[in-house]
Structure formats: structure tokens, C-alpha cells
Amino acid sequence: MSCLICTIIKANNYIEKIKKNLLFLMQNDLIEKISNYLMEQPQPVSAFELAERFLKLQKTNLIATEKIMTAILQKHPQFSQTETGWWTIKEIKTDSELFRFVICKIFPETTPRFRMFSISLATFNKDTFCDTMCYRVDYDAEKLLELCRQVENYVGNLPVFFDGFGNQRSNFSWLLSYAAPRHTNRPFFSLVKIVKKLLPTSHITSPDELSSFLLGTYQTGGADVQFENYKKQVLQIIELLRENGITRLDSLHLLLSASAPVDFSQYAFDENFLSRAPTCPGVYVMQDKAGQIIYVGKAVNLKRRLSTYFSAVADLDEKLKKIRQNLYDMQIIHCGSELEALLLEHDYIQKYRPHLNSQVDVHTRQNLVRERYPQILFLPSAAENKIKVIFFHPANHVILRDVNRDGSNVLELKQDVEALLDISAHSSENEVSAKTEILTSWLSQNSDHANSIDMRSVTSVREALRLVREYVMNFDPCVKHIFL
């Protein structure tokens, strides 16, 4: 009897001894860490294991340790206890609709002594951001509590996305717990973690690097400008997720919990090949061990696209899994624009008919007929000091040429211009080729990126060559020119 009393007294003393430490932990992101850990586990976990991992309680009284962790978990509705007494996370209910969530940015991100200055929030719904709000942080107790309640009401039960750097997430968790200590299950996501899962060869260590990777520009300006930049980053992430078939929160959780590394020993290339891949548009050709071409694809960003074949997403997508299982070697061809990559991809697919390409034929879209007229297009070229010139006529005529930026070889295009004018004079547009369909479809979606000469208003070869020379010698892909 005395031994039992001593055990109980020791257990109670032990509990009291760590109360202060528990309070400190719970004010930070302990609950969030436990939630994320349980989401990644295929089976329920014991309270003792959780205490060892998160409370650092080892070689202690088993009963007391389980009591402590159980008391913590019972206060939070996102945790569920099984019949065996072990713990798991409640299933997050989702539907087939695309993401609806809140994005958050706290300013400043880091200072020698962190003090939250302001909090910017926006809701992503139906492919756009709405209800953008900015809250100024006042550390007066009453005002701070009111602020926290406003933020809590704004967010509700929606998931929250952060960039994944600094103390953003933990300090936001503290704000919510300050307003509602028992706030409901609310998933938190990190943009940088998503990028690293989708593109495992990416190396991003700061918000500037994330912005540069996703948008090609660094963050600049004040809080308002940076938050607009952050919105654009999130839109790029959503596009990446959709490209990989991830449109639901449960699929995103699966992506983030997948951790199987890729074994590159089965390929003729290694991870360095992917990390050195260019970020320009291009075409990639995949071969099996026998040298047969099994798949041809195009990309606006080769490095980003190729990385997805070797990310956790590949294990969730049957097509990607099949490609990776048959793949042995790969070649890439640089292009100056997405349109050039689309046309080259088509040529390769028609030539080799790879068995893993699901669609090898291009079908006419009648609603795009109005966009078809003879023109000369100007786009960037992958070749140094050159411009890609495309001669296009809707009557099955698509010719690509490289022209020197100084215009020195423009006269070599004389036959191409003559052919285009001749077709315009004698052609009928009853039959539409696949290349014509690809080019017309691209133009309908990218008219702002296409510089062109409308050949319906050009009457002579000499006039056309003069316009071509004028354009190539003043080439700027960021400025839209239409020569009539």
C-alpha cells in the first residue's frame, strides 16, 4: 500500500514539475506539430510515443506520461482516440471542388526581436483571391484580443497557406490560440514544402528564392506589394498542383506525407541531370533500355516539368508511374517559346508514335476559325543572337526559320515570303492541318505574347522583307508589336 502511495505522489510531483514546460510548448506550435505528425502516420499512435517524441519524456513513469499526453489531446477536437486507446487525426472532410483556403503573410518576417507588425490575409475561392484584409497588431491586451478574434472569425475552419519561412506559422498559431485556445482542426500548408515535394531537385532557402523560382523576380517594395507578389506565387503553386492532378485537400495531404526517395540507379542519368536542366521551354524525349522512344512531352519550364516525374506525385498518378517504370534515358531540346515547343513535340510524336503518348492526333476546333489568317510571327529563339520567325497560313502552311538579330540574313527569307503570298492568292482553307490547329489554338490564348505582321495588308515581297528587317533589328519580346 505504501509503495502505491509513493508511486502516486511521485507521479503527481512529476506532473507538477513539467507544468511550466507544457504551458510554454502549448503556446507555440506543439498541437500543430502533433497534428502534422499524425496526418503522416498510416496507423494510430500511442500517447506514450507522442509524449516521447514531442514532450521529450523518456524513461519516465508510463502511467504519468500517458496521462499528460491524453489530457493535452482531449482538449483539441481534431484528435480522435481509437477503441484501443491510441490516437489519430480526424479525417478532414473534402469534396471534389478545387481548393478554398486562406493565405497569410505576417510583416516583418524576422527581426532581432520578433514583433508582429501587421497581418495580411486573403481568401482563395473559385480561382481568384477575394476579401483581402490587413490587420495592424496592437499589443495592448484588450486590443490584441479583439484583433485575434477578428482573425479567428476571418479564417474560420479554412486551411491556411504560408510561404514556409521564419516564424510565420507558429506566430499565427499563437494568435489563434490567444483568441480561442480550443480552436478547431485547421490544416496549415507551406508553399516551400509543396514545391520541394513536387520538384525535389529545387533548392529554395529564402522567400526571395521562392519568389524567383516561381515568378522569375525577387520580392520588392512594401507590405502591400509583397503580399500581391505572394498571391502570384500561390497561383503558380495551384497551377503546379493541378498539372499533377491534385485538386483536393486529401490529395495534397497524401503528397506531403509521401516520402519514398527515387532510386536513380535504374536510369542512364542521375539527379544532377535534373538539377542542371534549363528553365526555358523545350521538348523532352524519353527512351527505354532498348532505345525505343516511349514518350515525348513539351514544357514551358523544362526543369520544373522534368522534376515532377521524380517527385512524390509520380506515385499518385498512374500515367507518371508507368512512364517512370519504362524510362531509362532522356534527351531534352531547348526551344525559344512554348509555341515552338508545341510544334516540335507534334513533329516528334507524329514521327515516332510513342506508345505512352495518349493523344497523337490533333482535332480541329471550329470556334477558332475566326483567328486564322496569314501572318508572320516573331518569337524568341533558343539560338544565341537569333529570333524565331514563323510563316503561317491557315491553308496548311507553317514554316519556322531562325533570323539573325542584326537582320543580316533577312533576304534569305525571300522564298518563304513569296510562298506565303502565293498561297494567300490561290488557297482554299477547307482542310486544316494539325500544325495549323496547334498554332491557332496557341494564338487564341497568347495573343498578347505574339508579335506579328498581318499579311492580309501586305502586297509585295519587298514590303514584307522591309517589315521583317525592321522588326528583328528592334526585337523586344516584352513589347507587343503588330505590323499592319
Q: Are 344 and 298 in contact (CB under 8 A)?
A: yes
Q: Which CATH number fits domain 101-255: 3.30.420.10, 3.90.650.10, 3.90.1300.10, 3.30.70.260?
A: 3.30.420.10
Does domain 2-89 correspond to CATH entry 1.10.10? Answer: yes
Rounded CA separation 460/44 (Å): 77
The CATH classification number of 264-352 equals 3.40.1440.10
State residue 115's pLDDT score: 61
Rounded CA separation 456/452 (Å): 12
Write the pLDDT tens digit of every residue in 428-443.
Answer: 555 557 888 888 888 8
SS3 content of the chain, % helix, strand, coil (to 5): 45, 15, 35
Write the pLDDT tens digit of every residue in 215-251.
Answer: 888 777 788 888 999 999 999 888 888 877 787 777 7
Phi-psi region of 399 (alpha: psi -120 to 50; beta: other; left: phi over 0): beta
State residue 336's pLDDT score: 92
What is the per-residue DSSP string for 274-302? HHT--SS-EEEEEE-TTS-EEEEEEESSH
Least confident of 48-62, 200-214, 336-350, 456-470: 48-62
Query: Is 50 exceeded by the pLDDT of residue 135?
Result: yes
Reading the block at residue 346, the C-alpha cell is 507534334
The domain ranges of the chain are: 2-89, 101-255, 264-352, 366-483
Per-residue confidence band for 198, with pLDDT thresholds at 50, 70 and 90: confident
Is 389 or 74 the better-scoring residue by pLDDT? 389
Average pLDDT, the chain: 78
C-alpha distances (whole Å) from 414 to each of 33, 48, 179, 421, 465 are 68, 81, 74, 11, 7
Write the pLDDT tens digit of every residue in 82-115.
Answer: 767 788 876 544 443 447 899 999 887 544 444 6
Question: Taking the complete model, does pTM exceed 0.75, yes or no?
Answer: no
Query: Is 80 exceeded by the pLDDT of residue 291?
Result: yes
State residue 223's pLDDT score: 84
Write the pLDDT tens digit of every residue in 368-392.
Answer: 444 578 899 999 999 888 999 999 9
Per-residue confidence band for 316, with pLDDT thresholds at 50, 70 and 90: low
Q: Are 102 and 154 in contact (CB under 8 A)?
A: yes
Rounded CA separation 79/44 (Å): 11
Write the pLDDT tens digit of every residue in 10-59.
Answer: 555 555 544 444 444 444 457 767 776 777 666 788 887 887 777 765 55
Is 459 or 282 the better-scoring residue by pLDDT? 282
**Mean pLDDT throughout 199-207?**
80
**Mean pLDDT throughout 399-427?**
85
Instruction: For residue 45, give the DSSP letter.
Output: B
Rounded CA separation 320/226 (Å): 35
Least confident of 7-11, 371-375, 406-410, 456-460: 7-11
Per-residue confidence band for 362, with pLDDT thresholds at 50, 70 and 90: low
Q: Are 102 and 124 in contact (CB under 8 A)?
A: yes
For 352, the enclosing helix (H) or strand (E) is helix 338-352
State residue 465's pLDDT score: 92
State residue 44's pLDDT score: 80
Q: Are 135 and 194 in contact (CB under 8 A)?
A: no
State residue 331's pLDDT score: 94
Instruction: Give long-range contacts, CB 8 A cutoff, 24+ apart: 23-26.
Output: 25/54, 25/55, 26/72, 26/177
Cβ-count burial 117-153 (b if 16+ within 10 Å, e if not): eebbbbbbbeeebeeeeebebeeeeeebeebbeebbe
Is 174 or 326 the better-scoring residue by pLDDT? 326
Helices and strands in the chain, H and E counts: 18, 15
- Name, of 26-30, 130-134, 257-261, the range with top average pLDDT: 130-134
State residue 56's pLDDT score: 67
Least confident of 47-56, 66-75, 252-261, 390-399: 252-261
State residue 250's pLDDT score: 74
Per-residue confidence band for 294, with pLDDT thresholds at 50, 70 and 90: very high
* Residue of 78, 77, 76, 55 whose CA lies nearest to 66: 55
**Mean pLDDT throughout 302-311?**
82
Share of the chain above pLDDT 70, in %: 75
Question: 3-state DSSP call for residue 5?
Answer: helix
Cβ within 8 Å of residue 73, ≥6 positions away:
34, 47, 50, 79, 81, 87
Is 312 or 440 the better-scoring residue by pLDDT? 440
Query: First vs last Cα of the chain: how many Å apart?
Result: 102
Reading the block at residue 152, the C-alpha cell is 479567428
* Residue of 59, 56, 61, 70 whose CA lies nearest to 24: 56
Q: Residues 348, 349, 354, 357: is their CA dihedral positive or negative?
A: positive
Burial class (CB in 10 A: 0-12, 13-18, 19+), 96: exposed
* Residue of 403, 405, 400, 396 whose CA lies nearest to 440: 396
**Mean pLDDT throughout 127-132?**
86
Query: Is 60 exceeded by the pLDDT of residue 1?
Result: no
Reading the block at residue 213, the C-alpha cell is 523560382
State residue 21's pLDDT score: 46
Rounded CA separation 105/190 (Å): 12
Phi-psi region of 291 (alpha: psi -120 to 50; beta: other; left: phi over 0): left
State residue 122's pLDDT score: 93
**Mean pLDDT throughout 64-86?**
74
Per-residue confidence band for 185, with pLDDT thresholds at 50, 70 and 90: low
State residue 261's pLDDT score: 66
Reading the block at residue 453, the C-alpha cell is 505582321
Rounded CA separation 46/462 (Å): 82
- Give residue 131's Cα distance to chain centre: 23
* Residue of 36, 47, 46 whose CA lies nearest to 71: 47
- The reply to whether domains 2-89 and 101-255 share a CATH topology is no
